[in-house]
């Protein structure tokens, strides 16, 4: 608990030091929520879904459209965006229920690409096209206006709550059912687990979590652009749990932090930022297959074993 409080204090002290740091902190929030969303169906349930740019956009455009074109309270954009993203994932999950492996990845990637094309061109009448939508007001909740600092604080709380909830869910009976479905679908079916329902629920949960990243970014920037939701963002998010460690949802959060760190470090290293991130990611995946959390776990286990041996002596 002490280390958690110390980390939060240092995080906010750093974020509030400069306005630019607030933007980095919000980028961390967005990628954390996006990676946590992907963690739910992929690394818990073994169901790949590469349409997360569409779910991210669902949250962002829910905020922008409700703020500019309706009289609905802005706070309701959060559940509406999550519901839209979850519905999209459910429909996509039903359509692809008989696909696996490469074919499933390809179809979901095409779905995300189609959503991006619709946002940037075909649906321009609603989405603003490539120009996006601006003029998003600050969120006002119970008389409290959420400025940049408040949104960063709320984002950190949201990341912590989602990661904590997924960590508890992973060890619960429903979570064990999801993991068994990933390990062996026939075994899950023999055990009486409704594998199809489990699959669809995990897809919907992941999409709803991913949409929260779009909500926070839209509220932070007060405008959205279609190019921010191109399919390329999915491949960045896909690697984050692997970098942090897939044994726990916190690995997705650590991976997002590593992404932000490497992105900033690339400014001081010659060469393009994506190349730096790609090279560092490849090195971590090869040298540390368990991710950064795996290294910490091994170190902790070794330290405990050494302490036990010393106690016996």
Question: In this predicted model, what pLDDT tens digit does every residue of 3-48 receive, in sequence order?
Answer: 555 666 676 677 766 788 888 899 999 999 999 999 988 888 788 8
Per-10-residue mean pLDDT of the chain, 313 residues long, equals: 60 72 91 93 85 96 94 94 96 89 90 94 87 91 87 92 92 83 79 84 94 95 93 89 86 88 68 66 77 68 65 60
Report the pLDDT value the prediction gives residue 93, as an integer from 0 to 100. Answer: 92
Spacing of C-alpha 91 from chain mean position: 20
Report the pLDDT value the prediction gives residue 52, as an integer from 0 to 100. Answer: 95
Smallest CA-to-CA distance from 46 within 178, 162, 165 is with 178
Q: Which residue has the tokens 């280390």?
A: 3
Tell me how far apart the alpha carbons of residues 311 and 149 are, in angstroms, rounded to a whole number. Answer: 48
Virtual torsion, Cα 235, 239, 240, 245, nearest 10 deg: 160
Report the pLDDT value the prediction gives residue 118, as an integer from 0 to 100. Answer: 94
Report the pLDDT value the prediction gives residue 188, as an integer from 0 to 100. Answer: 79
Per the rule left: phi > 0, alpha: psi between -120 and 50, beta: everything else, 103 is alpha
SS3 133: strand
CB of 56 within 8 A of CB of 229?
yes
């Amino acid at each position: 608990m002490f280390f958690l409080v110390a980390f939060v204090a240092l995080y906010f002290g750093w974020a509030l030091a400069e306005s630019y740091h607030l933007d980095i902190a919000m980028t961390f929030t967005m990628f954390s929520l996006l990676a946590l969303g992907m963690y739910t169906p992929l690394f818990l349930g073994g169901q790949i879904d590469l349409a997360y740019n569409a779910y991210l956009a669902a949250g962002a455009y829910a905020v922008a459209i409700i703020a500019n074109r309706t009289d609905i309270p802005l706070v309701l954009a959060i559940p509406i965006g999550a519901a839209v993203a979850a519905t999209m994932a459910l429909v996509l999950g039903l359509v692809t229920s008989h696909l696996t492996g490469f074919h499933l990845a390809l179809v979901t990637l095409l779905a995300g690409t189609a959503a991006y094309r619709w946002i940037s061109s075909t649906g321009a009448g609603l989405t603003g096209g490539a120009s996006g939508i601006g003029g998003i007001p600050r969120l006002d909740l119970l008389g409290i206006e959420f400025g940049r600092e408040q949104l960063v604080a709320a984002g950190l709380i949201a990341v912590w709550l989602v990661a904590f909830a997924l960590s508890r869910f992973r060890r619960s009976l429903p979570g064990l059912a999801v993991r068994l479905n990933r390990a062996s679908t026939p075994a899950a079916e023999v055990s009486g687990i409704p594998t199809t329902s489990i699959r669809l629920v995990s897809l919907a949960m992941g999409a709803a979590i991913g949409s929260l990243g779009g909500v926070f970014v839209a509220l932070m920037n007060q405008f959205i652009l279609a190019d921010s939701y191109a399919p390329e963002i999915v491949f960045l998010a896909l690697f984050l749990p692997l970098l942090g460690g897939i044994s726990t949802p916190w690995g997705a959060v650590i991976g997002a932090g590593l992404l932000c760190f490497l992105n900033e470090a690339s400014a001081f290293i010659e060469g393009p930022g994506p190349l730096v991130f790609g090279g560092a990611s490849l090195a971590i995946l090869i040298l540390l297959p368990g991710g950064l959390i795996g290294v910490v776990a091994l170190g902790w286990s070794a330290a405990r074993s050494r302490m036990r041996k010393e106690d016996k002596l």
